Structure 1
Amino acid sequence: MNRYRRNRSTGRTRKMIIGGVAVALAGGAWAVSTGISSAGENCAGLDQALRQNLQFIAGQRADPDALAEARIANRQAVVDLINQRRAAAGCRADVSVPGAEAPAPEAPPAQAPPAQAPPAQAPPAAGSGDVVCQGSTVTLSGEAGAPAAASGTFPIGTVLKVTNLDNNKSITVRVATPSGSCVLLNNAAFEEVREPGKFLIRRAVIERVS
C-alpha cells in the first residue's frame, strides 16, 4: 500500500514538472516572436527589446527592398506594444535609434509666383492734342501734292498730328481726302517722318489737334 501511494505521488510530481516546462517554453516562444524579453515588465528587458526592434527598422530604412515597408509595419506594431508596456511599468529611459524614425514628408517644391504682365504703358504724349486711333499704323496714301492726310475716321478738314516714335519725328497735317484707315499720309507728309527705306510706321502716336 505504501509503495502504491509513493508511485502515485511521484507520477503527479512528474506531470506538474512537465506541465510547467511546457508553459515556460510557450512563453519563451512568444517573447522571441515579438522581441520582448522574457524578463516580463523589467524595464531593462523592455528597453533592450525596444532598441533591437528600432535597430531593425533603421536597417530596413537604410537598405530597403520590395518587402521593407511590410517588415517595418510589422516591427512598428511590436514597438507600439513595447512602449505601452514600458509606460505601464513606469520605464522612463530614452531609447532611440538614429534612422528608425519615419522620414518627414517632403515639402512640395516652391512655386514661383505667376508672372505679372507689365503694366500697360500709355503712348508718350507727342503734343497737346487728343490721342486717337491707338495702335494704328501709318503708311502712304500715294497721293501727290503738299503734305496732307487721308482718313476714314475723321472728316475732311480735321487737323491731325502724326509722330513716328522710332525716330521722334512728327508732322501736323489736315485731312484732305477720305480713306479706309484712321490716317494715311501722302508722299510729301510721309517723307517728313519716315525712316530711310521704310514704308510703314509701326509705332506712331496720332493726335487730333482740331
Structure 2
Amino acid sequence: ILLLGPLVPFFDAALSNKFRFLKPWESSLPLFDFLAAHAVSVRVLLCSGPSPVDDDVLARLPALELVVASSAGVDHIDLAACRRLGISVTNAGSAFTDDAADYAVGLLIDILHHISASDRYVRRGLWPLKGDYPLASKMGGKRVGIVGLGSIGSAIAILINSILLLYLINGRIPSYALRIRGRGFSDIAPRASRPSAFGIIGNG
C-alpha cells in the first residue's frame, strides 16, 4: 500500500502489522523516482490527506487497482483518470457525517452565544477594564437556512430541529426522510438577505 502522507498514529499502529506500507517521505528519492522503484508492487494507494492523486501519479503506477481516501472528500483525486485506467476509488462515505454536523451546530451555538468571543474578551484582560461582555442571543426561535441536503445537511437539520425552528431548506435532491419543522425553497438570494436567517451549508 502506497501512502502519500503520514497516517495519524492510531491508524498507523493499527494497520502497520497487517499491511506493508510504502512511505515516500521517508526515502531520499524524489517522489516520482520512488514511484518508479515500486511501480510494479503498488496495488493500493491510501490518501490520508489532501495530497493530489492526479494523472501524473496514476500513470506511474501501472499495477494500481484501488485508491482509498480516508476522508469523505475526493476532490484531490482525478476521478476521470481513475475511471479511464480501471482503478476503483472509495472514501470514508458517511463515517464523519455526524461529526461534521456536530461541529456545524456547535459553531452556530458558539456564534449566537458569543462563547469564543467572550472567552477572548476575558483572556485579554478586558473584563475588569470594560465590564461585562455584552449579552448574546438565545438559540430558540431562530430561522436557519440549510443549503444542500446531502448526508451532512440532513444530519444538521435533524440536530437543530430539536432546538430551533428550521424554516428554510434548499437542496438538489428532496429529502423525504426528514421529519422537520420547515419548508423547501428554490430561490436562495431573497431569503439569504434576511438578517434574521442564519445559513448553514451542508454539501456532503
Same fold (TM over 0.5): no
| Structure with greater contact order relative to length (CA < 8 Å, sep ≥ 6) | 1
TM-score category of the 2 structures, normalised to the smaller one:
under 0.3
